[in-house]
Amino acid sequence: MTDDKMPDRPEHAAEGTGPEPLAEPRAHAAGAAPETDLAQAARAFWAALMRALGRGGRGIGRAATAGIDQGSKALNGLSAKAAQGGAAAAERLRARRDRPEPQTASDMGTGTSAPDTEVAPRRSLAARAAQGWRDASARRRARLDQRKLRPAATVRATRWIWRTVFGLAFLLLLGIVLAGGILVWAVRDLPLADMLPPLEEPTLTVQDEAGDTLFTRGAYRAGYVPLDQMPEHLPQAVSAIEDRRFWDHPGVDIEGIGRAMWRNFSSGGVVEGGSTITQQLVKVLYLDPDRTYKRKLQEMVLALGLERQLGKDRIMELYLNSTYLGAGAWGMPAAAQLYFDKPVQELSLAQSAILAATIRAPSVINPEADLERARERGLVVLSVMRDLGRIDEAAFEAASAEMATIEPSPPPARAGSYFADWVLGEAQELSGAVDGPLTVTATLDMELQAKAEKILRDAISGPGAQAGASQGAIVAMTPDGRVRAMVGGVDYGESQFNRATDALRQPGSTFKLPVFLAALVMGADPETRLPDEPIDINGYKPENFNGQYAGVVTLREAFARSLNAATVRLAQEVGIDQVIEVSRQLGIEGELTPTPSLALGTSEVSLLDMTEAYAAILAGRAPIKATGIASLKLGDTGVALSVSGSDPNAVQLNRTRDPMLSMLRAVVTDGTGKRAQIPGFAAGKTGTSQNSRDAWFIGFTDKLVVGVWIGNDDNSPMDQLTGGSLPAEIWREVVQAAGGASAARAPSAESQTPVRVRRGTQVETTRADRLRRRAAAQGQPQCDVRACSRAYRSFRASDCTFQPYSGPRKLCTR
């Protein structure tokens, strides 16, 4: 046998010096400080333990006992005995190594002797423990080296895979929970119980007091047409440009949504939408136009349900009969009648393409608003239809040629269109957040309305055109504010801008009304005298129209002759702030600049506001708020709301009314408004702004207040046209068309209310009282919504309360 030497056996430094402690294990770093007895004992114990485990468990008990004994000896400071024991063990090992190996039986039988071999020494427990520690250290180093040899990418990849798997599983679970919660949140207030309500009636129906329909506005429909009666190319054109996969998807087009998102992202803006035709129908039938994520989820859920319930043909049919196509037209039948004056069944391919093109932006791209853009968009529709194989090349060429010749032929505008637009806004304000149709009993006198429109057209086309005037406006109302006629321009078909309500113009001398009324409030009277002389207020030097001054005059004379210098002086004595305060009491709501020139009407106001101010003088209370609605019916609820033009908190003009009436009367009899004279009582005031840019006349008889404005939309000057000329003449013709004056003198303030009407043999009081009595008999709630507020967020007729824009809900006057 080869020598079985104990590894790293300690060598004696010199003979006779005695044995030294066991050498440090190999794992101990070279040059490090020697370990303590306790550290050596611990290392030996664990090495022996691991060697015993490696041999199947033999000697575990002995190794543990020896290790614990050795540790105890080290802790008790018995280092000397440990050294002696080591020396004795070394002697025994040397003796065993030198002892000859015993012969085997076979050797003894043959008579031969065994070769001289060295007997392996029996190592001490401490040595075996040290060797075990070294072996364990070597194995650990080997494992570390093997791990270092593994590619780092493999280790990272393995970790990444497991982390990804667990992360995806967690995200999937979290996504399911969140999606379920979002879905519940989105659909909890959907109209799932009634998936298909009937199409609504026109948004606004205006009727007279007898219940006869005058006109409809807001939603123009021309009847419901089944899909099989429409031309085949119409649904093909609509689906080609709006939802080319309509016949394939289940109501929500995931592919289309992804395509739209990518195109919008690539272009940096919204260039394409992802809504299907079914989703667009859902918005028309069920949902409000809010652009929120919740509304989008609701839209998708309802679209899926609608597809399952109705099917493709029925959805397309409903869509074509209900989509908005501009100019108040809802549905293809209405648009065909409005734009092309023909039934939908007779639409050509080119006309169908234009109507399909209108859907994307109906208020901008329609044949009436912008014919060229509508044609361009129509050609795009035809190109898409050709690319999808829905029309051939010959049909495309023929329709493209026809597209260049298409001209819209809208039906003529009906009388009362300006009035209808204004009433629609008032009805929406009064009704608040009310869904469904509105039925309005209007204050309009259709006969007077038609006559007023003709009077204005004739005046502008004749003497007005000669004087450089191109536009005008007329408002006629009763003293309590009920509008009987409203003309917002010469031709509604050419311009829908309502100059009676929305145009802000300089009123000129018609604004002298609040100046002289303020003087009466301060204690003056029509005979009070004041100088009409040149005046200089910090460089502002107003002059009279003819450049001459009248000297000392009475208030009545200054007002009747419209003397500017006297009026500015009077406003300075009264105070500009007081003039503004009186103007607000009269209901003038425009921006009033507190400068000396305010007295001559340099601040811009509307014709409607100024007519209301003059109506307040005749009524004897202020303010008077104009209204075109006598009553309002909310859908099919049976709820009727009465409307009055007077404010319940109105200021009574008891002391100042009659003096002001006498001065207004003097304008017509002796002043600048002589052309407005009629048989009976008439009073009013002329007004002309600087350079004749605006010409006004506002006045009244004993029963009707009429305001007239003449001018140009571009504010260009007219040729010496004043308020006392053409406007006064128009005023006279309108008043005479309404029946003229029925009295020679001004009526008393008390006679203005209540207005009595006679029907058959029954005499009734005001319209509001009549409606209240009728509603009470029918058990309906009745409220005077004018007592609520000028503007509010919503109105609830069931308990006669309204919700202001801030603060709690408030009760109206019943």
How far is 481 from 624, CA to CA, in rounded Å? 6
Question: Which burial class, exposed, middle or buried, applies to 545 when counting CB atoms under 10 A from its CB (0-12, 13-18, 19+)?
Answer: middle
Write the DSSP assignment of 626-638 as a string of letters. -BSEEEEEETTS-
How far is 531 from 570, CA to CA, in rounded Å? 9
Question: Which burial class, exposed, middle or buried, applies to 158 when counting CB atoms under 10 A from its CB (0-12, 13-18, 19+)?
Answer: exposed
242 catalytic residue (yes or no): yes
Residue labelled with tokens 């129908």: 281
Question: Which burial class, exposed, middle or buried, applies to 745 when counting CB atoms under 10 A from its CB (0-12, 13-18, 19+)?
Answer: exposed
Task: Report whether 608 contacts 588 (CB < 8 A).
Answer: no
Could you list the beta-strand ranges (E) of 90-177.
none
How far is 280 from 322, CA to CA, in rounded Å? 10
Q: Which amino acid type is present at position 619?
A: A
Peptide bond into 781 cis (omega under 30): no
How far is 778 from 770, CA to CA, in rounded Å? 13
How far is 187 from 354, CA to CA, in rounded Å? 36
Alpha helices in 533-691 (DSSP H): 555-560, 564-574, 576-585, 607-619, 657-670
DSSP state letter for 675:
G
Q: Which helix (H) or strand (E) segment is 72 a member of?
A: helix 60-75
SS3 705: strand
Q: What is the 3-state secondary structure (H, E, C) of 306-368?
A: HHHHHCHHHHHHHHHHHCECCCCEECHHHHHHHHHCCCHHHCCHHHHHHHHHHCCCCCCCCCC
> 551 in the Ramachandran plot: left (φ > 0), alpha (ψ -120 to 50) or beta?
left
Number of helices and strands in the chain (H, E): 26, 20
CA distances from 223 to 98, 199, 322, 409, 691 (A): 126, 11, 10, 19, 52
Alpha helices in 687-737 (DSSP H): 726-737
Count the residues in the chain. 814
Pairing of strands 438-442, 204-207: parallel
346 catalytic residue (yes or no): no
CA distances from 136 to 5, 25, 43, 132 (A): 20, 11, 11, 6
User: Which tokens is 224 given?
Assistant: 């419901």
Torsion of CA 483, 485, 489, 495, to 10 degrees: 80
Sheet holding 801-803, edge to edge: 794-796, 801-803, 810-811
Torsion of CA 533, 534, 540, 546, to 10 degrees: 90
* Gyration radius (Cα) of the chain, Å: 51
Peptide bond into 333 cis (omega under 30): no
How far is 751 from 621, CA to CA, in rounded Å? 12
Peptide bond into 754 cis (omega under 30): yes
Task: Report whether 18 contacts 84 (CB < 8 A).
Answer: no
Contacts of 397 (CB under 8 A, 6+ apart): none
Residue in 24, 242, 453, 557 annotated catalytic: 242
SS3 440: strand
Task: Report whether 645 contacts 767 (CB < 8 A).
Answer: no
Residue in 275, 417, 431, 509 annotated catalytic: 509
User: Which tokens is 349 given?
Assistant: 């391919």
Would you name the residues annotated as active-site residues?
Answer: 242, 509
